Amino acid sequence: MLDRKHKTFLYLLFLFFLLQSKGVPAEENVYRDLVDKGVATYEDGCLAISYFAGIPVNTMTFDEVVAALKEKGIIGRRWKYKADKPLTRGIMAYMTCKLLKIRGGLTMRVINAAKSCAGLMCSSLKIKNGIDVPDIGMTKRYAFLECLDMGLMPAGHKETFLTGHDLMALMYRIEQYIKAGEKDKKQEEEKGKENEQEKQKQSKSDESS
């Protein structure tokens, strides 16, 4: 059972995502039921990650949401999980890494490089992105370890189920990660502009001297 402090935290998170979901009626908001939910489902995870991927889940069926996520490369192309499948840390970590484009450590980079090589080989052999293409790429295990190291995912095992509480907390961390990335990018752009302006000033100074 959740104590009062945890429930307060969850309701605040719920209100945060409700306000962020512009144009979504309260009774249709996908985050409403997560607050007091025991074990989250695969469908919950897909709907949650779709919020950040810009997928309009309110006008789509579950199968359409899954297809859209596959199209964006956020979920495995061979995944055939049912909507009510309990959501594991490994599944959600995989989607999180794909969404945030987390490259990870050496092992994950080697795996991604191997996937790129396989893609080039399949392209040269005119093999389409189907069952004949080797399923090489990020694994749920390494994705979970990476998310764990970054503080995005709660401790446990990749096969441990996520609760509604866990999923809401993860969504909050993803939101903060995205905002931090946007802030860093903006600062880099501003710094680049300042450097360019400084170069222009220096150039004019050299010309006048």
What would the pLDDT profile of 97-131 be if each residue is shown by its tens digit? 999 998 766 555 555 555 555 555 556 656 555 44
The pTM assigned to this predicted structure is 0.70
Residue 88 lies in a domain: yes
Is 206 a residue whose pLDDT tops 90? no
Residue 119 lies in a domain: no
Residue 42 lies in a domain: yes
Residue 89 lies in a domain: yes
Contact 89, 153 (CB under 8 A): yes
pLDDT, average across residues 155-182:
90
Q: For residue 114, how many other CB atoms are within 10 A of its CB?
A: 13
Query: What mean pLDDT is reported for the chain?
Result: 77
Residue 130 lies in a domain: no
Q: How long, in residues, is the chain?
A: 209
Residue 167 lies in a domain: yes
| Confidence at residue 92, expressed as pLDDT on a 0 to 100 scale | 96
Q: Which two tokens stand for residue 55?
A: 């997928």
Query: Could you list the residue range(s) of the whole structural domain that residue 152 is in?
Result: 4-103+139-183
| Confidence at residue 114, expressed as pLDDT on a 0 to 100 scale | 56
Contact 147, 88 (CB under 8 A): no
Residue 160 lies in a domain: yes
pLDDT, average across residues 16-28:
50
